[in-house]
Amino acid sequence: MPEEDGARMSTGEPLVQSTPPFLRVGLIGDPVAHSYSPRFQQAAFDTLRIPARYELWHTPAARLIERVRSLCGEEFLGANVTIPHKEAVLPLLDEVDPLAARIGAVNTIVHRDDYLYGYNTDAPGLLYALQEQGVGELDDDDRVSLAGHTAILLGAGGAARGAAFALVEAGVKRLIILNRHLERAQMLASELQSVYDGPVFSLSDPGFLIPHPAAIIVNATSLGMHGDVSPLPVEVLARFDPDTFVYDMIYNPTQTYLLCQASAIGLRTANGLSMLLHQGALAFTLWTRRPAPLDVMRAALA
Ligand code: NAP
């Protein structure tokens, strides 16, 4: 089933809505209480009158196998997966989409006919979030192209891995990975070279960052979630052209120190809410085979 390799997934036949009393889908992670997903996923189910409930399934590592296997129950549409289980779920699934397999992380599980399928919607979610901000073009197959752009990726952890594969598959001209621990950036760079012909640079010192035109800076570190800290010193940011776009995957706080500094010097910016929305919309379509009501989901996040 996972034949579409991270693109907008097929809508196919509408989901049969007759299963009483409720279909179930939920978020598997530890912790999960902070998540915004129930808010906008439930709004989508309710709007389309799909009798499903989106639940929070707090799951410590010791209960992960049991939780994933429980998804084969007939009332389950599937699940989202978050920290710290995105990598650990892969061997528990019957089939994993090629993009998710390359990234090594699954954030969406679909249950169909006793089979569990794994996808990564974070990666295309980032691309749709960028495209919505006017960065990149949508091609005839509904894929985002970032041809001509230089991507500067801050971080080499789980979220950065998804972003890195998304950016190279969208055809960026070059990719620069900046991470505190250089060896992690180098390892990610060498993995990317198996699917990408363009140049990939690894750095640990932001001082060595050279500005490029049409640059997209993506923060995939957790720096900025608390306090006035930023993964890029403002004097480095100030080297970039005004057409540079700065995307911070963090959405809480909505305005990180990085985004404040970038907009203060005139760069275009956006926070991670749009990525959250698009990864969730793609997951919704995978579970239900229906187009996600994006406007409803967006309004529920506001
Ligand atoms: P992770 O695997 O723990 O990776 C954390 C990254 O941050 C690593 O690159 C790490 O560098 C870097 N880092 C952490 N503390 C640092 C510090 N003090 N100085 C410099 N670098 C530091 O986390 P993750 O799962 O990738 O998540 C990263 C962020 O993305 C989180 O804020 C998460 O909320 C966000 N996210 C958002 C969405 C969305 O939908 N918007 C989706 C997924 C993730 P080292 O490798 O050197 O340790």
Dihedrals phi, psi of 201, to nearest 5 degrees: -110, 145
Task: Please report the pLDDT score of residue 227 as a whole number.
Answer: 84
Task: Please report the pLDDT score of residue 20 as a whole number.
Answer: 53
Residue identifier of the C-alpha nearest atom 37 of ligand 1: 249
Q: Does the beta carbon of 156 lie inside 6 Å of ligand 1?
A: yes
Residue identifier of the C-alpha nearest atom 4 of ligand 1: 157
Give residue 292's identity as a one-letter amino acid code. A
Distance (Å, rounded) from C-alpha 295 to C-alpha 291?
12
Q: 155: which DSSP letter?
A: -
Measured CA distances, 272 to 40, 130, 289, 301 (Å): 15, 10, 25, 12
Contact 102, 93 (CB under 8 A): no
Distance (Å, rounded) from C-alpha 18 to C-alpha 30?
32
Altogether, the residues listed in the chain come to a count of 302
Q: What angle do CA 83, 203, 124 make, to 5 degrees?
A: 45
Active site residue ranges: 86
What is the enclosing helix (H) or strand (E) of 78? strand 76-81
Residue identifier of the C-alpha nearest atom 39 of ligand 1: 276
What pTM does this model have? 0.91
pLDDT tens for the 302 residues of the chain, in order: 444 343 344 344 444 444 457 999 999 999 999 999 999 999 999 999 999 999 999 999 999 999 999 999 999 999 999 999 999 999 999 999 999 999 999 999 999 999 999 999 999 999 999 999 999 999 988 899 999 999 999 999 889 999 999 999 999 999 999 999 999 999 999 999 988 999 999 999 999 999 999 999 999 999 988 888 999 999 999 999 999 999 999 999 999 999 999 999 999 999 999 999 999 999 999 999 999 999 999 999 99
Distance (Å, rounded) from C-alpha 53 to C-alpha 64?
21
Q: Does the beta carbon of 6 lie inside 6 Å of ligand 1?
A: no
Percent helix, strand and coil across the chain, each to the nearest 5: 35, 20, 45
Distance 158 CA to ligand 1 centre (A): 7
Task: Please report the pLDDT score of residue 200 as a whole number.
Answer: 97
Contact 137, 131 (CB under 8 A): yes
Q: 204: which DSSP letter?
A: S
Q: Does the beta carbon of 223 lie inside 6 Å of ligand 1?
A: yes
Task: Please report the pLDDT score of residue 158 as a whole number.
Answer: 86
Q: In what order do the strands lie in the sheet with 150-154?
A: 200-203, 174-178, 150-154, 215-219, 245-248, 268-271
Distance (Å, rounded) from C-alpha 206 to C-alpha 204?
6
Distance 164 CA to ligand 1 centre (A): 13
